Amino acid sequence: MNRTSNRLTFAVLATGAGVFSMLQSLIAPALPTVQHAMHTSQSTVTWVMTAYLLSASVFTPILGRVGDLVGKKRTLVAVLAALVLGCLLAALAPNITVLIVARVIQGIGGALFPLSFGIIRDEFPAVRVSPSISNLSAVIAAGGGFGMVLAGPIVGALDYRWLFWLPVGVVALAALAALRYVPESPNRGEGSVNWLGAGLLSAWLVALLLPISQASVWGWGSMRVNLLLVAAVVLFALWIRSESRSASPLIDLKVMRLRAVWTTNTAALLFGAGMYAVWSFLPGFAQTPSSAGYGFGSSVTGAGLLMLPMLVAMFCSGVLSGRLQPIVGAKALLVTGAALGAAACAILAGWHGQQWQIAFAAGVFGLGIGLAFASMANLIVHSVPAEQTGAATGMNANIRTIGGSLGAAVMSSLVTGNLQASGLPAESGYTEGFALLAVLCLAASFAALLVPARSAVRQATAVSEVAQPALVSERVGR
């Protein structure tokens, strides 16, 4: 591929992945509006988020593996088409049931992450793979931030349905562009999809994530939560047995046992817990009326603007990480990113009386997210065989989501576990929650230290060796 084709392919991949990432957070601030418009209960409207989470968790690794086997471009176009359908159905949904079904269909778009990383690895010149993965990771991270910032103005100026109407046209154009301009990757895995493994993977993920996401409604000690968690353990054991005996496993467990992979996934689990919890609860903290003794009584739009420093910082640091990796290495960037996340949560725990303190902490956390996202993706991509890229990066994204669900659930328990007479959460719940998130992010930084070290000099030399023939070829072409 020439440079122009690379840029066009990247634009298509970034558009699809960015929109999907934005849809993760775009609807969250509008849930009260959706609840009122559709005359439903708070417990029911939370399924708009839960259904999306469960669907993405199931489809991300499975379709990542399908792409490895049958072709990443073909799978990418199909996933983009499903995302268009899900957004269209959500925009037209006459009731909450249809909206939840639409969110399940949108969750298929989670496969855009591993498919995009795989296409970059297969199609881009070696010298451009790490920077491109870093840039795409920055877009994915920033997409979640854009969702929080844009939700309020869109709902205020138009209607919550436009949260889905606007992505329809963008993703449709991306699907057409992918069909025309994205090349089909030559690297294919061998064998077929292990559908038994796919079914067991889906089952244990649902059995794990469903009680975690609904525990605040059902109660941590309820029979439903306990039975589902036990089922998750049993189904996970059956999945491990099925995959280890399969001639064509959905997830190659030998790859998952590579030191660079399991240490990166551990860091992803811990850092994901902190990241998603901050995304979920920091806007709510800002919107708490000052009569509670804390908070600023911000509107949805105002709370989103407080998150703007995070959005800018995560995009800039994600792009910058691609330039830094050949010098310092992806491991150092992951360690630093997680440590910045820990510092930001510590700031939130100790200093949150002024809006500038919230904005500053959000900016620091954004720097950490940008570095961590890009480095995790690069560590996984460069540690697994090309034909396992989709499945391995899909599982990394999944593990980060599982961590996010755990972090959000624990934070919810702390925040809602001690209420004031007014019904608002006590300040101590947020303080203790942010302190715990700081510990989790710090643990992620320590986990990242276990990633096998690669000499920065060797990395820079390897990049230079690949770059020189590319530069010579480019000059000759001119």
Q: What is the pLDDT of residue 212?
A: 83
Position 321 scores a pLDDT of: 87
Q: Which residue has the tokens 């025309």?
A: 180
Domain ranges for the chain: 1-185, 194-248, 251-478
Mean pLDDT by groups of 10 residues along the chain of 478 residues: 73 91 82 86 80 85 85 92 96 94 93 90 86 88 81 85 92 92 76 82 88 80 92 94 85 87 95 88 88 88 86 89 86 95 96 94 94 90 83 85 84 83 89 95 96 53 39 37
- Measured CA to CA, the distance from residue 123 to residue 2 in angstroms comes to 10
Biggest CA–CA distance in the chain, Å, is 75
Task: Give the pLDDT score at 476.
Answer: 37
What is the pLDDT, as a whole number, of residue 470?
Answer: 39
Q: What share of the chain is helix, strand, coil (3-state, %, to 5)?
A: 85, 0, 15
Residue 77's pLDDT is what? 95
Angle between helices 72-92 and 96-107 (to 10 degrees): 170
Q: Which CATH superfamily is domain 1-185 in?
A: MFS general substrate transporter like domains (1.20.1250.20)
pLDDT in the model for residue 319: 86
Q: Do domains 1-185 and 251-478 have the same CATH topology?
A: yes
251-478 topology per CATH: Growth Hormone; Chain: A; (1.20.1250)
C-alpha separations of 393 from 32, 267, 437, 467 in Å = 34, 14, 24, 25
How far apart, in whole angstroms, are the C-alpha atoms of residue 207 and residue 222? Answer: 14
Sequence-separated contacts (24+) of 223-226 with Cβ below 8 Å: none
What pLDDT is recorded for position 466? 40
- The answer to whether 202 touches 62, Cβ cutoff 8 Å, is yes
Gap between the Cα atoms of 291 and 265, Å rounded: 42
> What does the pLDDT read at residue 460?
36
